[in-house]
């Protein structure tokens, strides 16, 4: 299982005003709001946490087939920086997902997996060839192979990322 999310920071700044009254409270738990307000760069922390929630939601949606809008129930924990990459966990109801987030000046990108060892098997696909969606959930079909691989696609502004396991 895999989920990803990419945020084009320039577009996010244009599209969303997270300082709007009520905005943070509908999306972020109290602890997450503290992380944002105490961050050196609150703008980046907003999209950093948001991209984790989105990536984790994609796995949750694939596993349970439940669609919904419940960002407060996807809570980010245990943020840890190793070699410039931010690792963490997102907890959704009874599920725990592991996240890996890269932050650049242009974009923020999170990949979420079910098991830590899955990080080693992630591959990026260059195009949508052989990808089919079922119930809006994409999978990769290899020629002559019956089993499929889970795929996650994220597109925002100037950036697109397609990942598989």
Q: Is 27 in the site for another protein (CB under 8 A)?
A: yes
The owner of tokens 């052989």 is 130
Give the length of the chain.
Answer: 165
- Closer Cβ to another protein, 68 or 121, answer by number: 68
C-alpha count within 13 angstroms, C-beta hemisphere, residue 84: 6
Nearer to another protein, 61 or 139 (CB): 61
Strand spans (E) along the chain = 2-8, 74-82, 85-92, 95-103, 107-113, 123-125, 131-134, 137-141, 148-156, 159-164
Is 37 a binding residue for another protein by CB under 8 A? The answer is no
Axis-axis angle for helices 42-64, 30-37 (nearest 10): 150
Interface with another protein includes 116 (CB under 8 A)? no
Q: Out of 2, 6, 9, 12, name the contact with another protein by CB under 8 A.
A: 12
Using rule CB under 8 A, residue 136 touches another protein: yes
Show contacts with another protein in window 47-106 (CB under 8 A): 50, 54, 67-72
Does the footprint of another protein cover residue 30 (CB under 8 A)?
no
Residues that bind another protein (rule: CB under 8 A) add up to a total of 19
**Contact in structure between 72 and 26 (CB atoms under 8 Å):** yes
Residues that bind another protein (CB under 8 A): 12, 15-16, 20-23, 26-27, 50, 54, 67-72, 136, 156
């Amino acid at each position: 299982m895999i989920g990803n999310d990419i945020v084009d920071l320039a577009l996010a700044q244009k599209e969303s005003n997270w300082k709007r009254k009520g905005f943070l409270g509908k999306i972020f738990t109290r602890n997450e709001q503290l992380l944002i307000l105490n961050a050196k760069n609150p703008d980046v922390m907003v999209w950093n946490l948001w991209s984790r929630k989105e990536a984790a939601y994609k796995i949750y949606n694939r596993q349970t087939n439940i669609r919904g809008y419940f960002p407060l129930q996807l809570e980010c924990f245990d943020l840890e920086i190793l070699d410039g990459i931010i690792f963490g966990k997102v907890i959704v109801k009874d599920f725990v997902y592991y996240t890996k987030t890269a932050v650049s000046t242009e974009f923020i990108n999170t990949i979420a997996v079910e098991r830590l060892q899955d990080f080693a098997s992630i591959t990026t696909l260059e195009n949508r060839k052989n990808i089919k969606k079922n119930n809006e959930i994409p999978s990769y079909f290899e020629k002559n192979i019956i089993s499929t691989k889970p795929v996650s696609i994220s597109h925002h502004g100037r950036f697109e990322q397609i990942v598989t396991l």
